[in-house]
A and B are shown apart, each in its own frame.
Chain A
C-alpha cells in the first residue's frame, strides 16, 4: 500500500500515477473537443486552445464565451481563472530547470503538475516529477481534444463517468501529506472555506485566489507562539 515512499518502486509508481491521471485527462479533453465542435466553432479552435492556452478550466470557460461571440470576456475570464499560476510559480520556482528548460517547461504548469511536484521533497525527484507529469498531461489533454473533435457527441458526458469527482480527489490525495503540518492544515482549510463561501458571489477564479486569505491565520499563530 505504501509503495510511493519506497525508493526502488518509485518510478513504477510514478508512471502508474501518471497513466491514471492521463486516462482521466484524455476523457475530459475529449469532452472539451466535442463541446467546441458542438458550439459550431471552427475545427482549429479547440486544437489552438489545447496547445497555446493548455489550461482545462480556462478553456471550458473561454470556449463558451467565444461561441457566444464575446472574445473579450473570454480573455478576461480565462486570465482571471489562470492568475493562480503566479503563486504556483512562486512556490515551485525553477523546478523544471533553467534556460530553455524553463522557457518550455513553464508552459506545462497546471494544478495537477504543481500538486505532484510539491508532493516530492528531493530536488532531483521534483524535477523528474514535474517533467513526467507535465509532458504526460500535455500529451493526453491534446490526444483527448483530437478524439473529441473526431468523435463529436459520441464521446459522451465525462460526468457520467464520474470524472468530475476524480480530479478533486486526485488533488486531495496529493496535498494530504503536506496537511500533516498543523499550520499548513489550518491555512488550507480556512482558505478552502473562504473560497467555497465566496463562489456564489465572485466571478470564476477569484474565489480560489481568496483562499490566500487563509495565510492570515498565521498571524494569530505567530502571536500564540511568542506568548
Chain B
C-alpha cells in the first residue's frame, strides 16, 4: 500500500509536469495568451514565496522567517548576487532564532 501510494503520487506528479509541457506544444496560442503564461508562472512563484514567508500551516510564521526573507528581498532588489541573498536570508532568520526571537 505504501509503495502503491508513492507510485501513484510519483506518476501523477510526472503526468502533470509532462502534461503542461505537451499541452503547450499542442496548442496554438495567440500572442496575447503567450504573454499571459510567464505572468501566470510569476504569479504562482510569487505566491509560493509569499505564503512560504508569511504562513506556517494555517497561522502566521512568526518573526524570524519573514525578517530573513525581507532582508534577502531587499538585497535582491539592490542587485546583490544570488548567493548573498540566500545566505543573508538564512543567516538573519538563524541569528534571530539563536537570540530567542522566533
Point out residues on A near B: beta carbons under 8 Å: 1-4, 13, 16-17, 19-21, 24, 41-42, 45, 48-49, 52-55, 58, 62, 66, 71-72, 74-75, 78-79, 82-94, 96, 102-103, 106-107, 109, 111, 114-115, 118, 159-176, 178-179, 183-184, 187-196, 199-201, 207-212, 214-215, 218
B interface residue count range (under 10 / 10 to 19 / 20 to 34 / 35 or more): 35 or more
Asked if B83 and A20 sit within 8 Å, CB to CB, the answer is yes
Nearest CB of chain A from residue B48's CB, rounded to whole Å: 6
> What A residues does B5 contact at CB under 8 A?
62, 66, 71-72, 74-75
Bound form: Cα–Cα A210–B47 in Å: 9
Asked if A71 and B83 sit within 8 Å, CB to CB, the answer is no
Q: Which of B42, B51, B59, B85 contacts A169 (CB 8 A)?
A: B85
Which of A1, A163, A169 has most B Cβ within 10 Å?
A169
Across the A-B interface, give the 4 residue pairs with the lowest CB-CB distance, nearest first: A89-B20, A169-B72, A165-B68, A162-B93
Check if B100 is an interface residue, CB within 8 A of chain A: no
Point out residues on B near A: beta carbons under 8 Å: 1-10, 12-14, 16-25, 36-55, 58-59, 64-69, 71-73, 76-77, 79-83, 85-95, 97
> What B residues does A83 contact at CB under 8 A?
16
| 18 other A-B residue contacts (CB within 8 Å) besides A85-B17, A188-B45 | A16-B81, A53-B10, A66-B5, A94-B25, A159-B65, A164-B65, A165-B65, A165-B90, A169-B71, A171-B48, A172-B73, A184-B39, A189-B46, A191-B46, A192-B43, A192-B46, A211-B44, A212-B44
